[in-house]
Amino acid sequence: MTNEQKTAARGYRVANTFVQARPLEPALYLVATPIGNLGDITLRALETLAGADVLACEDTRVTRVLLDRYGIVNRPFSYHEHNADEAGPRLIAALGEGKSVALVSDAGTPLVSDPGYRLGQMAIEAGHRVMPIPGASAPLAALVGSGMPSDAFLFAGFLPVKDKGRRDRLAELSRVPATLIFFESPHRIGASLATAADVLGPNRHAAVCRELTKTFEEFRRGTLGELAAYYGEDRVVKGEIVLLVAPPEIDDVPGAVEVDVLLRELAASMPTAKAAAEAARLTGLSRKDLYQRLLGLKGEDGAG
């Protein structure tokens, strides 16, 4: 195929109508793709996938399904965590040659819990333009469908696999005044809910969002205790899961006076840095902020 033929073939098809893709300026395009329903793709994303000089993806087989659905003939290039050290520099080199590079993950928005984060960093450090092409996002889809407060939220990725790691991480986040959003695997959701109920309290509200946008989409809402009981050891769970946990009640968030008392108590028996770290674990507040606050308290106590 000649260059002219390749250029002419750059396009996408919607409802039997072929749309020619416009040329893209050199940049790294981070393209969001559907998380389940292939209809959840934007026209801008289709044009970017069809028009990019280089199309990089996690799994070429997964991306090929989407491309075939919309008649895009662009050939995907494999970029994933196992070949990132080799493939990443090749993609950066393509940007250096003035080419447009589009990056997609298997589903959803690139860089969210996937190796695309490293490529984005490399492109920025090399002085290349990085352009997001927004679209589907599992954390946001789960949030808007869960009924949880959406004025403030924290996406925390996957919880640690081991129980102690999960407990420590949940303790760190326990006082964050925002809806917590986690990814979780179906074979660990029961254990994670049980740990969350133990660490955060069984009466804290939560939602398990499963198979979002797909045929068997499910939102199961309740307290952590109720959900832990439902997803017990005998429950067989399938599909991709997003777990949301409601913010703590206002009365549960420690005030400034309570924090100062706690810091002074801890500092009486341990070094400043360790006291701040322990206070952060107990309150969910920033270790850095608590460290500075403790230094200030020591200054005030010394001045008095």
Across residues 26-47, what is the average pLDDT?
A: 96
Q: Which one has a higher pLDDT value, 285 or 38?
A: 38
Across residues 197-202, what is the average pLDDT?
A: 92
Exposed, middle or buried, 55 (CB in 10 Å: 0-12/13-18/19+)?
buried
**Nearest to residue 182, comparing CAs of 208, 149, 205?**
208
Across residues 75-97, what is the average pLDDT?
A: 93
The single-letter DSSP state of residue 25 is P
Across residues 250-276, what is the average pLDDT?
A: 80
Q: Which CATH architecture has domain 3-136?
A: 3-Layer(aba) Sandwich (3.40)
Across residues 188-193, what is the average pLDDT?
A: 96
- pLDDT band per the 50, 70, 90 thresholds, residue 216: very high
Supply the pLDDT for residue 252.
Answer: 55
Across residues 72-92, what is the average pLDDT?
A: 92
Return the bridge partners of 13, or none.
18
CA pair distance 277, 86, nearest whole angstrom: 38
Phi and psi angles of residue 153, each rounded to the nearest 5 degrees, phi first: -145, 155
Cβ neighbours for 144, distance < 8 A, ≥ 6 positions apart? 150
The CA dihedral of 150, 158, 66, 34, to the nearest 10 degrees, is -10
Report yes or no: 202 and 225 within 8 Å, Cβ to Cβ: yes
CA pair distance 291, 260, nearest whole angstrom: 11
Domains of the chain by residue range: 3-136, 139-251, 254-303
Q: Are strands 205-210 and 179-184 parallel, antiparallel or unpaired?
A: unpaired
- pLDDT band per the 50, 70, 90 thresholds, residue 3: low
Buried/exposed 205-225: b ≥16 CB within 10 Å, e otherwise? bbbbbbbbbeeeeeeebebbb
Phi and psi angles of residue 55, each rounded to the nearest 5 degrees, phi first: -115, 115
Topology match between the domains 3-136 and 139-251 = no
Lowest mean pLDDT among 147-151, 179-183, 191-195, 275-279: 275-279
pTM for the predicted model, two decimal places: 0.78
pLDDT at 111 over 80: no
Q: Which one has a higher pLDDT value, 257 or 73?
A: 73
Which range, 80-89, 98-107, 230-239, 255-264, has the best average confidence (pLDDT)?
98-107
Across residues 27-33, what is the average pLDDT?
A: 97
- pLDDT band per the 50, 70, 90 thresholds, residue 235: confident
Mean pLDDT (the chain) is 90
Lowest mean pLDDT among 34-43, 66-75, 219-228, 279-288: 279-288
Across residues 254-283, what is the average pLDDT?
A: 83
Across residues 112-136, what is the average pLDDT?
A: 90
Across residues 171-188, what is the average pLDDT?
A: 94
Supply the pLDDT for residue 303.
Answer: 47
The class that CATH gives domain 139-251 is alpha beta
CA pair distance 164, 157, nearest whole angstrom: 17
